[in-house]
Chain A
Amino acid sequence: MTHADGGGSKDASLENAELQTRLASIWSTPSGLWGVLSTVDHKIIGRRYITTAFVFLALGGVLSLLMRLQLAQPEARFIGPDRYNQIFTMHGSNMMFLFAVPVMQAMAVYLVPLMVGTRNIAFPRLNAFSYWIYLAGGLLLWIAFVVDAGPDVGWFAYVPLSGPQYTAGKRADIWAQMITFTEVSALAIAVEIVVTVFKQRAPGMSLDRIPLFVWSMLVTSFLVILAMPAIMIASTSLILDRLVGTHFFNPAEGGDVLLWQHLFWFFGHPEVYIIFLPAVGMVSTIVATFTGRPVLGYMAMVMALIATGILAFGLWVHHMFVAGLPRLGESFFTASSMAIAVPAGLQVFCWLATIWAGRPVFKTPFLFVIGFMVIFVIGGLTGVMVASVPFDTQVHDTYFVVAHFHYVLVGGAVFPLLGAIYYWFPKLTGRLMSETLGRWVFGLIFVGFNLTFFPMHILGLQGMPRRIYTYQPEMPWSGLNMFISLSAIILAAGFILFFVDAIRSARSGPIATANPWGASTLEWAAPSPPPSYNFARLPVVGSLEPLSTGSSVLPVAAGLRIDRRELLVTSVAEAIPEAREASVGNSIWPLWAALATTVTLIWSIFSPWAIVWGSIPVAVSLIGWFWPKGVPEDES
C-alpha cells in the first residue's frame, strides 16, 4: 500500500524552482468557472468569505443610514413602522450573523493555516460547503427583505411576538432558517479551525509558541461549538411551533416564554465574544508588529482568552434582568458579568505595557488599535454599568444599550478588523493599501463613530427606548437625534472611503514584499500572496516569533510527497510530526450538497415533509462527496 517510489515523488531532492512547479501543478485551482465552483483552497475561499462579509457590512450600513434618516426628526414619515421593524431586524441580524461572526471566521480561514505553517485547512471540502451555505443564508434573508418578507421581530426574535399567533406569514420563519444556515456554516469552520490548530501546526510549534491570533481563534471556535447548538435548538423549536403546532413557547399548554430568552442568550452572550475574541487576537498581532516586540505576558494573554471563553457561558441572564427572574439569582449574574472585566482589563493592561516597552510605529493598522483602545474601554465600562441589575432596570432596552453594544462591536471588533485588513492586505492580495487614505479612513471613522454613538448614552438615560420607529415632538430627544444622524454621514464617509481604498489598492496598490511590516509570524514567511500550496517546504518553528530570531535563514522540513496533496500532521501539545497526510483535491460535491441543503431548508419553512424528501438529495451529494475517486489523495 505504501508508495515505494521514494525520492522521485518527494520534495527533498528537488531544486526550488522545480519543486514549486510540481507543487503548483497539484495544488492549484483550475482557472475558469469550474475552478471557481470546485476550489477547496482555503485562501480563495477565505478571500471570498471576507469579501462577501464586507458586502453585508455595506448593506447593513445602508440600512442603518435609513434608520438614521427616519429618526432624525420626530414623527417623521419616511419609513412606516412595518418597514422600520424589518430594517432594524435586518440591520441587527445581518450585522451579527452575516457580517461580524463570518468575517472573523473568514479571516481565520485565510490566516490560520498560514500562521501555523500548513498547506490547507483541515477538511477543505467542508470549508467550501460552509461558504456556499453561508451565501445561501445571506441571499435568503436579503431576497426576503427585498420582496417585503423580511423578518420584523428584532435580532433576538422574542416569542410570543415571533410565534405563530403574532407573526403571520413567513417572516419569522425566514429569520429562523437564516439562523440555521449561518450556524451550520459557522460550526463547520469552527471544527476546521480546531482540527487545523490541534493537528496541523508546523513542527516545533508547541502550545506555548502558537501565535495569539491563533489562540484567540481556537478559543472562539470552542465557543462556537458549545454555544451554537443552543440557538439551533431554539430556532428549530420556533419553526416547529409555527409549522407543526408544538407548544415549546406557549404558556397556555405548558410551554414557557422565557425559555426562548434563556436559549437565545445562552447562545447570544457567547456570540458577542465570538465576535470580540478574534478581534483581540488581531490587536495582539498588530501591537506586537508595530511596537517591534512580543506582547508582554503571553501566558497571561492566553489565560485571559480562555477565562473569557469559560465565563462567557455564565452571563446570559444579564440580558434578562427585567424579565422578572428571582432577584438573588440575578445578582449572581451581576457578579459574573463584572468578573469578565478582569480578563478584559488584563489584556488591555498587557497591551499598554507592550506599547510602553516597545517603539510604536504609527502606521494605519496601529492607528486602528489606538482607536480600539479608546473606544473599546468605554464600551467595556458601559458593559460593566449595565451588568449592575438596578442600573440596568433603567437603561435596558434603551439607546444606552444601543450605545454600549456599538461601542464594543464597532470599537471592539470592527476597528481591529479594519486594522487587520490594512495589516494583512498585502498577504491577501499581494498589494499594500494606501497609507494616506488609511489615515483619512481612520480619522473619519473615529470621529464619526464617537459623534454618532456617544450621544446615544444620554438619549438612553433621558428615556429613549430602542426599536422605536419614531418619537413624539414633545420628547426632548430631537436635537440629539438630528445630531446623531448627521454624524452618521461622517461615519459612512469613512466606510465608503475604506471601500474605495480597498478596491483601488487590490487593483493597483504598490506591490508588497513577503514581509512588508517586518512581522514575526509564519504567514509572512510565505510570499505575498502565498502560492496555492502556501509553503514550498514546511517551516520548522523554534520560538514564539519564528521570523525574528535574528537570522535570515528559515529552518524547514523536507520529505513530503509531491505527487499528491500532502500535509503534515503533528501532535497536539508539542507539535511533533506524526504522519504525512493527504489533503483532498478540488470537488464540485460541496456545492451540490449546499444546494441540496438549501432547497431542503427553504422548503421546510413551508412543509415538514421537506426534511424527508430533501434528505435524499442531501444524502446522495454527501455520498458523492466522500466516495473515493481513485486519486492519490484517496489512497494511503
Chain B
Amino acid sequence: MSVIRALLLSIGAIVSGCSGNQSALAPNGAPAIHVEHLIIWIIAVCTVVWILVMVSLGVALWRKRRVETQGRTTERRLAMTVSAAVTATVAIVAAMTIASFYTTRSIGVPGKAALTITVRAQQWWWQVIYASSDGAPGFQTANEIHIPVGEDVRLELESADVIHSFWVPSLAGKQDLVPGRANSLLLRAEKPGVYRGQCAEFCGLQHSHMAVMVVAEAQVDYASWVAAQRADAIAPADPAVASGQSAFMAKPCAACHTIRGTSANGTTGPDLTHVGSRQTIAAGLLETTRGSLAAWIVDPQTLKPGNNMPMVPLTSIELRNISAYMESLK
C-alpha cells in the first residue's frame, strides 16, 4: 500500500515538482490521516481488481482457440466463473463499505473540542470569528485561521450568501457551508505548519481565488498570537502612516472595513485590525507586502475580477500612505 502512495506521490512529483501542502496525500491531522489510509487501501484494492479484469480480457481476446466443442459444459464452466467473480465483487464492496463506515466513525465531530471557531464564508473570502472566552473579548480575522497543534478544533461553518466548502486537505476532508444550515468540522494538526486550503464548492466569479490558510502552532505561539489579535489596532507613530489612517477613515474604506480602535466599523469586507500580520491578502491571492497591498487597493478588480471591493479613486500619495498604514497593522 505504501507502494501505491509512493507511486502516486512520485507521479505527481515527477510531473510537477512537489506535492505541495494542499494535498490529500500529505495529511498532517488525525482525520486526514485516517482518510488517507482508507484512500490508499481502496485504491490498492481497486488497482488489483482492474489488473485482474484486464488480464482476463487479454487472455479472453488472444488465447489460442482449438476447434472447440462449444458444448454445454463450457457454458456451465463459464457461468460458474462469472458467479464466482460476482461473489468476489460482493465481498470486496462489502469490505469497502464497512471500512468506510469505521473510518467515518473515527473522524466524527466530537462533542467537546479544545477550541471552537466560527467560519463564515462570503463571496469570496473567509470571515473567521474567535468568540470571547474567559472574559477576554473575541476578535475577527480573515482567510487565516490559527490553531494550537495537537488539539481538536471545532469549526462552526456558516455562509453569508451562497454555498461554499471549507477544505484544507492536509488536515481534514471538506465540509460545505450552507446558508440556513449549521454545519461543523473537526480540524486537528499534528505538526506545526501552514496548511493551505481552498473553497471547493463553486460559488461564483472568484471561486478560484478563495483560499484559506490554517496556521498550526505550538501552544505558546498560539497564545501570543491570540493576545496580539485581541488588542486594538496600534495607533500610527509615523506621520505618513498617520495620514494614511486619516485617508482611510475619510474614504469609503471605513464604510466596509472594521479597524478596532478607530472609527472604521464597516462589516462588508474583512476586519483589517491586524491585516498586516496576515500572510496573504484577498484570500490567498497575494503575499502581504506593502507593494501587494498597494496593488490591491489601487485596482482590486483587475487582480480579482468581480470581487466585492470596488476601486476607490485615490491620489498616489494617499495610496502610498494607506498601504503603509495597512502594512503597519501588525
Contact = CB atoms under 8 A, between A and B. Distances in A.
Interface of A: 80-82, 85, 153-154, 158, 160-161, 165-166, 251-252, 256-258, 293, 296-297, 300, 322-324, 327, 330-331, 334-335, 338-339, 341-342, 345-346, 348-350, 352-353, 355-357, 359-360, 370, 373-374, 377-378, 381-382, 384-385, 388-398, 455, 458, 461-463, 465-472, 475-480, 483
Contacts of B172: 393
Contact of B174 (A81, A382, A385, A394): A394
A390 B46 contact: no
B16 interface: yes
A466 B81 CA distance: 41
Contacts of A356: 56, 59-60, 63, 78
Contact of A476 (B16, B32, B101, B167): B16
B24 interface: yes
B233 interface: no
A305 to B, nearest CB: 15
Given A324-B183, A339-B93, A397-B201, A390 B35 contact: yes
Chain B: number of interface residues, binned into ranges: 35 or more
B290 interface: no
Contacts of A385: 39, 42-43, 46
Contact of A462 (B19, B108, B201): B19
A468 B181 CA distance: 25
Contacts of B49: 377, 381
Given A257-B178, A324-B176, A463 B35 contact: no
Contact of B200 (A327, A349, A359, A396): A396
Given A341-B93, A381-B49, A476 B18 contact: yes
A139 B187 CA distance: 48
B174 A251 contact: no
A35 B181 CA distance: 57
12 contacts: A82-B305, A322-B173, A322-B175, A324-B175, A342-B86, A342-B93, A345-B86, A389-B100, A458-B11, A458-B12, A462-B24, A476-B18
B330 interface: no
Interface string B203-232: 111111000000000000000000000000
Given A342-B86, A393-B173, A465-B199, A81 B100 contact: no
Given A341-B89, A388-B99, A479-B15, 16 more contacts: A166-B123, A251-B180, A324-B157, A330-B104, A338-B94, A341-B93, A345-B86, A345-B89, A359-B65, A377-B49, A377-B54, A382-B46, A390-B104, A395-B24, A462-B20, A469-B208
Interface in B85-101: 85-86, 89-90, 93-94, 96-97, 99-101
Contacts of A82: 205, 305-306
Contacts of B36: 394
A352 B90 contact: no
A468 B209 CA distance: 8
B104 A331 contact: yes
B104 A327 contact: yes
Contacts of A469: 208
A385 B47 CA distance: 11
Interface of B: 8, 11-12, 15-20, 22-25, 32, 34-36, 38-39, 42-43, 46, 49-50, 53-54, 56-57, 59-61, 63, 65, 70, 74-75, 78-79, 81-82, 85-86, 89-90, 93-94, 96-97, 99-101, 103-104, 107-108, 123, 157, 161-163, 165, 167, 169, 172-176, 178-181, 183, 196, 198-208, 284-285, 305-306
B57 A352 contact: yes
A331 B35 CA distance: 15
A265 to B, nearest CB: 14
A381 B167 CA distance: 24
Nearest to B15: A479
Closest 10 CB pairs of A and B: A393-B173, A251-B180, A463-B22, A468-B208, A324-B183, A388-B100, A479-B16, A338-B93, A356-B60, A394-B24
B104 A370 contact: no
A288 to B, nearest CB: 14
Given A458-B12, A463-B169, A342 B46 contact: no
Interface centre among B61, B157, B199, B306 (most CB of A within 10 A): B61
Contacts of A353: 60, 78-79, 81-82
A392 B18 CA distance: 23
Nearest to B203: A161
A451 B54 CA distance: 18
Nearest to A397: B200
Nearest to B14: A479
A28 B17 CA distance: 65
A166 B204 contact: yes
Contact of A388 (B42, B86, B169): B42
A622 B99 CA distance: 57
Given A322-B176, A342-B89, A463-B22, A393 B163 contact: no
Contacts of B15: 455, 458, 479-480, 483
Contacts of B22: 462-463, 475
A377 B108 contact: no
Contacts of A391: 35, 38-39, 42, 100
Given A350-B82, A394-B35, A476 B284 contact: no
Nearest to A374: B54
A166 B54 CA distance: 48
A423 to B, nearest CB: 18
A396 to B, nearest CB: 6
Interface centre among B107, B196, B208 (most CB of A within 10 A): B208
B181 to A, nearest CB: 6
Contacts of B11: 458
A342 B306 CA distance: 47
Contacts of A467: 202, 207
Contact of A322 (B53, B82, B174, B179): B174
Contacts of B165: 322, 396-397
Nearest to B79: A297
Contacts of A355: 57, 60-61
B29 to A, nearest CB: 12
Nearest to A466: B202
Nearest to B163: A158
Nearest to B86: A346
A390 B163 contact: no
Contacts of B74: 357
B305 A166 contact: no
A393 B175 contact: yes
Contact of B70 (A357, A389, A455): A357
Nearest to A335: B97
Nearest to B89: A345
Contacts of A345: 85-86, 89
Contacts of A338: 93-94, 96-97
A345 B93 CA distance: 11
Contact of A461 (B23, B123, B196): B23
B60 A161 contact: no
A46 to B, nearest CB: 32
B63 to A, nearest CB: 7
Contacts of B157: 324
Contacts of B104: 327, 330-331, 389-390
Contact of A327 (B53, B97, B99, B108): B108
Contacts of B196: 463
A400 to B, nearest CB: 9
Nearest to B177: A324
Contacts of A346: 82, 86, 89
